[in-house]
């Protein structure tokens, strides 16, 4: 059986650069982080994490790196508030680390990136969610209700240590929303203006793996009636983390589309939880954009094993038990108008240009929790 058609003769010219990166993917790899830190050349290392990952970060720092660790900062926050970056930048100026370790999800990795943007130094990332941020040179920072993002080689982690054991306690709800965030990276890579056959292969593989793994995790969670599932979930945890890695690579190789722009606007303006916002919006945005990209549509539907790509994303989300809407996040109609007005004028035009009314309709669908094609 031939694989999914993800490039054709008219679109398969491409160019991309690879950067210096070492990736380790192995159970208990975090216990041996000192070796990786030494290889990276870190001798005065600052560890950053969110409050929830503080114990894990302390354990990794104590066990692995000994006197190479100068401090553990456990105050990372979602959307990387600029005032937080300013205060940790003062800590950096005082303590003068030569390297950073980020332990956690996109919030910890995002803080490390913001610090490296101000004071360039290598980052070793130990991801514990499926955000994929560790794989990208994309940074983000939020100030005055606006989330700014950019790309810079200096923020791309130099070493990534994936230890699936660290994801076993990721709560079921966070796992599936974080996994949908990763799927969103892959979907947008497929119709990006700079989509290329390599990124598309990674993206299609990521969607397939993540969908399978997340369905399995959700099933296990349902069967266990909410009790923690560990051993049975081993395979799914590995698959999901690997899928997140592939999706992050695809995101790094391509430009973000309307979906990511909307999520960033909602995060900046309303502090909307990042992964859940992705999960709420993705089927709505993809149902609008995918019909304009037959190749992306084919890749998504084949990866999901569904005849209709947009409907398949709605079905996946429902299957994962994600039923939240933008209304549940506290937004009202005026908020939707404000987001549409902020995003539409500079919205990415690939694979189709959305009008302000289109963007408003997508947001309305995500607010009501229904498929825009119902209208």
Where on the chain is the footprint of ligand NAD (CB under 6 A)?
A: 50, 52-53, 78-80, 104-108, 110, 128-129, 131-133, 136, 138, 140, 166-167, 169-170, 174, 178, 181, 274-275
What is the C-alpha to C-alpha distance for residues 203 and 199, in angstroms, rounded to an integer? 6
What is the C-alpha to C-alpha distance for residues 66 and 213, in angstroms, rounded to an integer? 36
Is the Cβ of residue 41 or residue 120 nearer to ligand NAD in the bound state? 120
Closest CA to 338 of 250, 272, 244: 272
Is the Cβ of residue 52 or residue 369 nearer to ligand NAD in the bound state? 52
Is the Cβ of residue 252 or residue 358 nearer to ligand NAD in the bound state? 252
CB of 271 to ligand NAD, least distance (A): 10
* Backbone angle region of 66, left / alpha / beta, with phi > 0 → left and psi within -120 to 50 → alpha: left
With H, G, I as helix, E, B as strand and everything else as coil, classify residue 139. strand
What is the C-alpha to C-alpha distance for residues 107 and 105, in angstroms, rounded to an integer? 5
Task: Please write down the HEC assignment for all residues of 8-38.
Answer: CCCCCCCCCCCCCCEEEECCCHHHHHHHHHH
Q: In what order do the strands lie in the sheet with 45-48?
A: 22-25, 159-162, 123-127, 99-104, 45-48, 69-73
Is the Cβ of residue 56 or residue 99 nearer to ligand NAD in the bound state? 56
CB of 342 to ligand NAD, least distance (A): 17
Two tokens, residue 84: 């937080």
Contact 193/255 with Cβ under 8 angstroms?
A: yes
Is the Cβ of residue 7 or residue 54 nearer to ligand NAD in the bound state? 54
CB of 232 to ligand NAD, least distance (A): 17
Query: Other C-beta atoms within 10 Å of 63: how many?
Result: 13
CB of 367 to ligand NAD, least distance (A): 21
Two tokens, residue 231: 């051993």
Is the Cβ of residue 46 or residue 361 nearer to ligand NAD in the bound state? 46
Is the Cβ of residue 79 or residue 350 nearer to ligand NAD in the bound state? 79
- The residue with its CB nearest to ligand NAD is 106
Is the Cβ of residue 19 or residue 96 nearer to ligand NAD in the bound state? 19
Closest CA to 152 of 163, 137, 162, 166: 137
Contact 50/76 with Cβ under 8 angstroms?
A: yes
* Backbone angle region of 104, left / alpha / beta, with phi > 0 → left and psi within -120 to 50 → alpha: left
Is the Cβ of residue 97 or residue 105 nearer to ligand NAD in the bound state? 105
């Amino acid at each position: 059986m031939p694989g999914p058609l993800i490039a054709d003769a008219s679109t398969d010219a491409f160019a991309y650069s690879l950067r210096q990166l070492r990736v380790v993917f192995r159970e208990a790899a975090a216990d041996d982080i000192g070796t990786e830190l030494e290889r990276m050349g870190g001798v005065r290392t600052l560890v950053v994490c969110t409050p929830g990952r503080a114990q894990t970060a302390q354990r990794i720092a104590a066990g692995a790196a000994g006197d190479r660790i100068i401090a553990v900062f456990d105050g990372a926050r979602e959307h990387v508030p600029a005032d937080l970056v300013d205060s940790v930048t003062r800590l950096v100026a005082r303590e003068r680390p030569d390297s950073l370790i980020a332990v956690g999800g996109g919030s910890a990795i995002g803080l490390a990136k913001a610090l490296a943007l101000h004071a360039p130094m290598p980052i070793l990332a130990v991801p514990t969610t499926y955000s994929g941020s560790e794989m990208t040179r994309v940074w983000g920072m939020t100030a005055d209700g606006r989330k700014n993002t950019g790309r810079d080689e200096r923020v791309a982690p130099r070493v990534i240590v994936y230890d699936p054991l660290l994801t076993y306690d990721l709560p079921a709800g966070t796992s599936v929303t974080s996994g949908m965030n990763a799927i969103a990276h892959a979907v947008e890579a497929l119709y990006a203006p700079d989509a290329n056959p390599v990124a598309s292969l990674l993206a299609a593989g990521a969607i397939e793996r993540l969908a399978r793994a997340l369905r399995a995790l959700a099933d296990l969670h349902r069967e266990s009636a909410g009790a923690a599932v560990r051993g049975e979930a081993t395979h799914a945890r590995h698959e999901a983390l690997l899928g997140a890695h592939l999706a992050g690579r695809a995101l790094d190789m391509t430009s973000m589309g309307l979906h990511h722009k909307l999520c960033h606007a909602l995060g900046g303006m309303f502090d909307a939880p990042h992964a859940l916002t992705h999960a709420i919006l993705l089927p709505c945005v993809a149902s609008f954009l995918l019909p304009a990209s037959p190749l992306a549509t084919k890749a998504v539907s084949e990866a999901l094993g569904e005849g209709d790509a947009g409907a398949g994303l709605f079905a996946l989300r429902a299957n994962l038990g994600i039923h939240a809407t933008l209304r549940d996040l506290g937004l009202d109609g005026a908020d939707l108008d404000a987001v549409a007005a902020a995003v539409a004028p500079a919205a990415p035009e690939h694979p189709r240009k959305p009008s302000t009314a289109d963007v408003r309709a997508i947001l309305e669908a995500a607010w009501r929790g229904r498929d825009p094609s119902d209208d």
